[in-house]
Amino acid sequence: MSSGLGRFTLAFFIIATLFSFTATSQAADKVTIASVGWTGVTIKTDVAVSILESLGYEAENIMVSVPIAYKAMDTKEADAFMGNWMPSMASIANKYFEKGSVVKYVANMPGAQYTLAVPTFCAENGLKHFNDIVKFGDKLNWKIYGIEAGNDGNMVIQSMIDKNMFGLGKFTLIPSSEAAMLAQVRSLANEGKWIVFLGWAPHSMNERIDMTYLKGSTDETFGGNDGMATVWTNIRKGFDSENPNVARLLKNMTFPISMMNQIMTEAHNNNNLKLGEAGLKWLKANPAMYEKWLDGVTTIDGKPGTAAFKAFLDSTV
């Protein structure tokens, strides 16, 4: 009786172990990266997904709002997020950093900017600082244009309005998609009409619109230093120990501002080119970048990652 029980226990242990190993292996093979519908974040995420697929991983870009991206990492439904703009995203992200369920991980793009902007003719006529906005309320129809609802930038703007900071209490935030907001900016600017909107760099808007960033951002708004920002790659707690190969890739993936501007401009000038495809095209022309990213990174079965991605580029771009 005890011998049969022992054999049963051993068999159960082996089956459970094999099941656990298989489930863990499958989980390690699947990488989910959360993103938001911003041009730069989409480029980074789509390129990362393509690299991971070339290495043999199953990879996915799930597009959600900023709060949902953090909730997804918190609950382990997403492994990473490459669009953590700081300090403007602090009100959403910091509680997860402090909790420890999300790790800030690596600065993927220093030298970015995220703050309010105007067409340059508005600045030339006196609207240069946050304090100036209220002076031109009538010209601006008492509106400030943001991007999608729930975005951290919108939350900053709404807080400025709610607290009557810079005298903005009478203004209304107009949320919209990135594309629709920029179309509205171009339309009004072309008609010589005034508009204040949420702007950022890198982005092709900086080349397509004659625009000026406003002075006056504070630690309570888009951060000091006129909204200068650093963009971080975040990962969920434990991901780097569970999948060190992918974690190393994500750590290596940094994006110079000049690179991102060139990719965005290429995508804008070629309407048939998707954002991720524009990123891959740039990488094929600049192999030193992906060689740096793939330093020490292997395919899922341990082969050199650089060779695998180069073969992928040669066959698809």
Q: Which domains are delineated in the chain?
A: 28-111+229-316 (3.40.190.10), 113-228 (3.40.190.100)
Q: Please tell me the predicted confidence (pLDDT) of residue 7.
A: 42
**How many other CB atoms sit within 10 Å of the CB of residue 2?**
6
Number of residues that this document lists for the chain? 317
Residue 256: cis peptide before it, omega within 30 degrees of 0 = no
Q: Please tell me the predicted confidence (pLDDT) of residue 303.
A: 97
Do 217 and 224 contact (CB within 8 A), yes or no? yes
Q: What share of the chain in percent tops pLDDT 90? A: 82
**Which residues, other chains included, contact 70 with Cβ-Cβ below 8 Å and sequence gap of 6+?**
81, 92, 93, 96, 102
Separation CA 98–CA 101 (nearest Å): 8
Give the mean model confidence (pLDDT) for residues 160-171: 98
Do 234 and 274 contact (CB within 8 A), yes or no? no
Q: Please tell me the predicted confidence (pLDDT) of residue 28.
A: 62
pLDDT tens digits for range 198-245: 999 999 898 889 999 999 999 999 988 899 999 999 999 999 999 999
The pLDDT of residue 182 is above 50: yes
The pLDDT of residue 126 is above 60: yes
User: What does the angle CA 148 – CA 221 – CA 185 come to, to the nearest 5 degrees?
Assistant: 45
pTM: 0.79
Q: Residue 188 — φ and ψ, nearest 5°?
A: -65, -40
Separation CA 2–CA 99 (nearest Å): 47
